[in-house]
Structure 1
Amino acid sequence: MKIQFGFVANALGLYNASPSKTMTFKRFSSLPKDERMEKLLEVTSQNIINTKRILFYLIAHEVKLYRFSSAMIPLATHPEVLWDYITPFKREWEELGTIIKTCNIRPSFHPNQFTLFTSPREEVTTNAVKDMEYHYQLLEAMKVSDIANINIHIGGAYGDKEGTLERFHKNIKQLPNEIKGVTTLENDDKTYNVNETLETCEREKIPMVLDYHHYIANKGDVELTEALQRIFRTWENRKLLPKVHISSPKSERDFRAHAEFVSSDFVVPFFKMARELNQDFVVMIEAKQKDLAMLKIVEDLTTIRGVKRISTTEIEW
C-alpha cells in the first residue's frame, strides 16, 4: 500500500507566500473607480505569484498533492463586482497548469461552507452553482480539470435530514455536468456521517472524500471497516486514487478543531485499517501547520515497523 501526502493552500516553510491575500468589498468601494480594477489585478497577481512559489516548493519536497486557496481571486463571485479574472492572467494560469502536469501534482479546491445544495432557499443554490463555476473556471484556465476535484459538504439538515437529502439530489441537478464530474463530497463532523455521505455519493456517482477526524467526531451507526472499501470504490469512474483527509483534535474539550500537527496515535489506527485493503490512496493533511505538519507526520509514520519511505512525502506500508 502506497500513500502520498499533501497539504492545503499556504506553505509555512516559505516566507510571506500567502496565496490568499484579500480585498474586502468595503475597501474596493472606497477606492476611486479608476483604481478599483488596478487594485484587483495587483492583489490577484501577487496571489498567483505566491501560488507559483508554492508549486516550486512542492517540487522541491516531492509533494504530489495540493489544495489551491479558494481565496486566490478577491471578490471573484461578488455580485457587485463580477470581473474577468481569467483573460488578464491567461499566460499565468497556463504556466501554473504546465507546472502541475509536468510534475504530476494532483490539485483540488475546497469551497467554503456556504457552497451547499441542501438549502430550501433558491438563491443559496444559485450562489453555490456560481461558486462551483468559479472554481471550475480556474481549473479549466490551468487545463487541469481532468486530474482535479472540487470538494464540498452536503450541508445542513434543516430539521429534516431525510427530506433535506432528497432536496440535495434535486438541487445538485442544477450543477452543469462537467462541474459535477469533478465534484466530491466529504463526511462532516456534526451532521452527515460516513454512511449518509457514502449513500449520497453512490446514488449521484460522485467520489467520496473520507475525513477520518470527522468520522471519529460523528460516527453514526456504521463502522469504518465496513464502509472503507465502498468509499474507495466511488473513485473508480474518475480513475484517480482515493483521497482521505487527515487531522487530529486540538484537545478533548475542543475535539472538532484541528490541532497544529497530526497526532500519529490518533491516525495510525486508520492506516492499519486501510492496510488490510492494500489500496493505494492519497492523504490531504488539514492540520494548522500545513506543510510542516505534513512533513512531520511522514517522519513519524516511518518510525513504524513495516513502513518504508519512498520519497519526501510518500510511504509504502
Structure 2
Amino acid sequence: VLVENGDVEDFWISGGSAYGVAYEWAKARAGRRWSSADVYREHLARTIANYPGIYGRIEEGFHRDGRYVRLFGNHDDVLEDPAVAAGLHDAHPDLEVHEHLVLRDGAAGAERTVAVVTHGHQVDSWNAADLAALGRFGTWFGSTVADAPFSESHPGMPPPEATRAMLSGRQPNVLTRVSPVLGANRDLYSLDEVWLADAFRAAYPSGDDPWLILGHTHLPVHAARLPGTDDRWDRYINGGCGVHHQMVTAIEWDGTVVGADPVVQLVAWFDAAAVPDTPDDALVTSHAGRRIARRVLAPSEDGSVLVPV
C-alpha cells in the first residue's frame, strides 16, 4: 500500500509557477468571474499534465488495485473541497482524500488502534486543519522577506551537507520544541513534538499508545529523545520534509507477520554519487545512468542520532 501523506500538489506556490500560470489563465477569460475552486482545479490539472509518468505509475501500480491512500496536508487542504478534489479523478478515478489514516488490529475481534497516520502540520497551531490560511500568510510573508536583496536567508530544500550528515550517522534524533508564545522556533518549525508526546502519554497512561506516523515536520526522527533527557518516545516516527538534496526519506511499515509487532522503519533513497563510500549492498536500482541506494535510518543505541544501516 502506498500512502501519500499530504502536500503532493503545492497550492501555496505563486509567482512564476504553475499557480501563477493558473491565475493568468483564469484572468484571461474576460467577462467571467472565476472562483477559488476554478483556480485550484486549473492548478491541479496542470500539475497532473506536467507529471504523467508519476501519476501513471501510481495509478497502474497502486490505485487500480485498491492500494493507494491519499491524505491532505496544509499546502493542499483545498482538497477538502469536493469540487477541487474531483480534479484528481482525471488521474485516479473515484479517489477520496482524507485527513488521517487509522490502522486497527482486528485479531480475535479486537479493534485496537495500532497506528495513526497524518500530515505533521495537522497537529500544530499555525497549520492545522481550518488554520492553514494562517500558515500560508506566514509563509508568503517570510518568503517575501527572504527574497529581499539585503537578506542572506535562503530557505527551501536542505543543503547537500544535510544529506551527508544524515547518511553518515550525524543526524540528531531529538524531538522539536517550539515557543509557547509564538508557536514556532528560530528555524520556523511549528510542531511542538514534546507537547505532542506529553499529550499522547496523558491519553494512554498505561503505555499502550498507538504508533503516531507523521511527515513533513520537518526533521526525520524515530523513537527520538526528549530534549535534555534520556527519555524517548518509542512509538513515534516522522519522515521529515521528505525531499532533500539527491535524497528522499519516507516510512515503511511491515505488518505482514501475524501475531508480531509491526516493523516500522525510516528509510532514505538517494543517489549513490552523493555519498562516495556508499556500500554495494545498499544499491537497489539504477535510473538514467544514476545508481540509486537505500538505507534504513535507525536510532542509535542511546537514541541520540540516526544511524544508516
Same fold (TM over 0.5): no
Q: Which has the higher contact order (CA 8 A, sep 6+)?
A: 1
Larger strand proportion, structure 1 or 2?
Answer: 2
Bin the TM-score by the shorter chain. 0.3 to 0.5
> TM-score with structure 1 length normalisation?
0.36
Decide which structure has the larger Cα Rg and report it: 2
Larger helix proportion, structure 1 or 2?
Answer: 1
